[in-house]
Structure 1
Amino acid sequence: MKKVMFTGGGSAGHVTVNMALMPLFLNEGWSVEYVGSAQGIERELVGSLDEVNYFPISTGKLRRYLDIQNMKDPFKIAKGVYQAYRLIRKQKPQVLFSKGGFVSVPVVIGAWLNKVPVIIHESDITPGLANRISIPMASAVCTTFPETAEQISKDKTHYVGAVIRQELKQGNRDRGRNYCGFHKNKPVLLIMGGSLGARKINEAVRAALPALTENFQIVHLCGKGQLDPSIGVPGYKQYEYINEELPDVLAMSDMVISRAGSNSIFEFLSLQKPMLLIPLTKQQSRGDQILNARSFEKAGYCRVLEEDGLNDASLVSGVMEVYNKRDEFIGRMRNNKHSDALSAVFRLIKETAKHP
């Protein structure tokens, strides 16, 4: 049987492209396997696909800052490499597809040692640390932005555009309203701080609730462990994370506040949702979200609010500016030409498996 293996994790952004691709392979009769961490969000998300075999391995985080865990994690990563090598040697996939994140590095090394071809997907303009380590061992790198090819060997890069989960386009407004208990007479503001949450955004949103709820019904995805059960404001619903109901919640939303992870903002673009983006700062990341947000703002798809200037007043001002100009944003989004990146990546994986 034809077999493909996937890896990627640490945050939902390192899983969503895999989640879009795996059903395509299952529909064509492939055996599909996934290698991730024992307790990461990838295990929770992939667990919804009964036909996918999930294999947990030891993982360690790749940090850019001083931390006591930096002394322990190299041993965890080494153990993960050994586990991945043994697993891949036993399972014998024809190809490995990696979405990145720290869990992917041992798996890519394990595949390379077993001479299994590796295809990597890079969502951002600049490759993340995990992908920078993995790219020399890859046969091909799929990119979302054409500029990424300037930083990678051009004979490896395949500019495909953004991979969009098809199920997001199947959302229903009425189902979304029923899920949240909302009515039709007030617009809906969706706030997403990423699967791991964003504490400063959460604090600003909650401080601004009196002003925001005058004009909006609010769905707030605040991240694991960041619910505040003491808040009982009418028209405000908070969840740690939404998976199956997300297409319906997006369908009913009139605008979005979000971080600027590439996967998410391209999904909002495809759904024509006006955005107020609050990218991670350079102190929190390598600056990739700032580049993503500036690219979208230049194209006229969003407004950017830097986290250093984030408070309840600036948040309300930014939201009202985007909402009042929503028709302009939507008009520019309609003119965006979407590529069929999902099909392009699907074909590339199959071709690589056929001719490694």
Structure 2
Amino acid sequence: MKIIVSGGGTGGHIYPAVTIIRTIQEKHPDARFLYVGTQKGLEADIIPKENLPFATVDIQGFERHLTPANILRAGKALVGVAKAARIVRSFRPDVVVGTGGYVCGPVLMAASLMRIPTLIQEQNVVPGITNKILSGFVSRIAAGTEEAKRHFPADKVVFTGNPIRSEVMTARREDGARSYGFDPSKKTVLISGGSRGARSINRAMIDVLVQAADHPEVQYLHVTGSLEYDDVMNRLKQAGLDLEQTPHIKVRPYLYDMPQAMAMTDLAVFRAGATGLAELTARGIPAILIPYPYAAENHQEHNARALEQAGAARMILNRELTSARLCAVLTELLSEDDKLVAMAKASREMGRPQAAGDIADLVLALAGRK
């Protein structure tokens, strides 16, 4: 059985794709894969490290108005579509899977026109333009949220949830706390703006951490992102915070084992990317969400609002984020156990830890090999 998987641009498209691939491999060790992405996206770095065969298509998204850059991109798109068709024709897959990003467009379109079964996995509450277009051509759509279903043809879409790494569910609180020198019996807050960090969250956290220094009953793990780390450390120093004297506060540029950190977390401060939210809800972690305001179709705000309406999270819009606002919400939730317990229950009810297996079964069914 041969499967093409395509997804590019951001980790939110790439890591779900890798999770789906690994889950299919567990069910069918003989399956062969080809990952199709772009040379400039994160996938060009991530996929070869995963030891997966990798092919590239040169394509970019279009701006929303006519520009000289769009004319050049249109020319590249035509060449990209032709190359995508050659890749599909040469590999002869039994099924093609797309997890988002512009590169999925030509790959899945070519497969559809060749009558090859196709599936797209939509992570967000509001789908991007590529998946909206592809929904008219593909065989099946695996929706990451119930809310997303209304954007797709009812006879094609299935609510599966978003795929998460198996380590998310197997990581243990005690192990996570031990790895950071924390006390597993104390409440722990995890702050992360994603792999590249979020400047607005990092700046708001400076005063929060300064105030937290006098309250060792709550532990903080703040992940700044590699590019933001030095700036955050300098600002904390200028604010008079000596991290060597506050072992209950840790600041890191990046986490190589996020599942272990999540295992010890009682409250998270996050952006609202679909993959991060899938992992939080799978573990039932309450959250304060600050959506990235420039995400396509404003999908992060829609993602965050869905969790807030379910009672699993509080949302603070990026333009409304201040240290005082963030500190007030943190103080409220950390001091009222009933609220935190209710949010955790609501979060867990939204979680779909089995999503990767369900999506893998859909893919295998399309390939006729379930």
The two structures share one fold, judged by TM-score above 0.5: yes
Amino acid at match of 2:31: W
Paired residue for 2:325?
314
Query: How far apart, in 2, do the equivalents of 1:81 and 1:322 lie?
Result: 50
Paired residue for 1:26?
25
Amino acid at match of 1:314: R
Query: How far apart, in 2, do the equivalents of 1:159 and 1:37 lie?
Result: 28
Residue ranges of structure 1 left out of the alignment (5+ in a row): none
- 1:32-60 C-alpha deviation (Å, 9 max, x unpaired): 2211122422233333422x212232131
Query: How far apart, in 2, do the equivalents of 1:156 and 1:331 lie?
Result: 31
Paired residue for 1:269?
281
Residues 176, 64 of structure 1: CA spacing in aligned structure 2 closer, same or farther, 3 A cutoff? farther
Q: What displacement does 1:8 show?
A: 0.9
Amino acid at match of 1:299: A
Amino acid at match of 1:82: A
Query: How far apart, in 1, do the equivalents of 2:307 and 2:32 lie?
Result: 38
Query: How far apart, in 1, do the equivalents of 2:46 and 2:116 lie?
Result: 25
Amino acid at match of 2:126: T
Query: How far apart, in 1, do the equivalents of 2:118 and 2:134 lie?
Result: 9
Query: How far apart, in 2, do the equivalents of 1:77 and 1:214 lie?
Result: 56
Secondary structure of the residue that 1:201 maps to in structure 2?
helix
Specify the structure having the higher radius of gyration (Cα).
Answer: 2
Matching of residue 128 in structure 1 with residue 128 in structure 2: yes
Q: What displacement does 1:68 show?
A: 6.3
Query: How far apart, in 1, do the equivalents of 2:207 and 2:175 lie?
Result: 29
Matching of residue 16 in structure 1 with residue 15 in structure 2: yes
Point out the more displaced range, 336-345 or 11-20: 336-345
Point out the more displaced range, 8-17 or 323-332: 323-332
Matching of residue 297 in structure 1 with residue 308 in structure 2: yes
Paired residue for 1:354?
368
Secondary structure of the residue that 2:230 maps to in structure 1?
coil
Q: What displacement does 1:339 show?
A: 7.1
Amino acid at match of 2:127: P
Query: How far apart, in 2, do the equivalents of 1:320 and 1:43 lie?
Result: 42
**Correspondence list, 1:20-59, <5 A:** 20-27=19-26, 28=28, 29-50=30-51, 52-59=52-59
8 A contact 1:26–1:32 mirrored in 2 = no
Amino acid at match of 1:258: F
Secondary structure of the residue that 1:256 maps to in structure 2?
strand
Point out the more displaced range, 2-11 or 169-178: 169-178
Amino acid at match of 2:230: D
Query: How far apart, in 1, do the equivalents of 2:64 and 2:297 lie?
Result: 9
User: Size of the alignment, in residue pairs?
Assistant: 350
Amino acid at match of 2:25: L
Amino-acid identity (%): 27
8 A contact 1:12–1:194 mirrored in 2 = no
Secondary structure of the residue that 2:163 maps to in structure 1?
coil
- 1:112-159 C-alpha deviation (Å, 9 max, x unpaired): 344322200112222112212322221111112333332222122122
- 1:195-231 C-alpha deviation (Å, 9 max, x unpaired): 3432222222235331244444433333453332644
Query: How far apart, in 2, do the equivalents of 1:170 and 1:39 lie?
Result: 33
Query: How far apart, in 2, do the equivalents of 1:258 and 1:79 lie?
Result: 39
Alpha-carbon RMSD across the aligned residues, in angstroms, is 2.6
Residue ranges of structure 2 left out of the alignment (5+ in a row): 244-248
Q: What displacement does 1:338 show?
A: 4.3
8 A contact 2:119–2:141 mirrored in 1 = yes
Matching of residue 211 in structure 1 with residue 211 in structure 2: yes
**Correspondence list, 1:222-261, <5 A:** 222-223=224-225, 225-228=227-230, 230-231=233-234, 233-234=242-243, 235-240=249-254, 242-243=255-256, 245-261=257-273
8 A contact 2:100–2:130 mirrored in 1 = yes
Paired residue for 1:188?
188
Residues 254, 110 of structure 1: CA spacing in aligned structure 2 closer, same or farther, 3 A cutoff? same
Q: What displacement does 1:291 show?
A: 2.1
TM-score normalised per structure 2: 0.84
Amino acid at match of 2:341: D
**Correspondence list, 1:326-337, <5 A:** 326-335=340-349
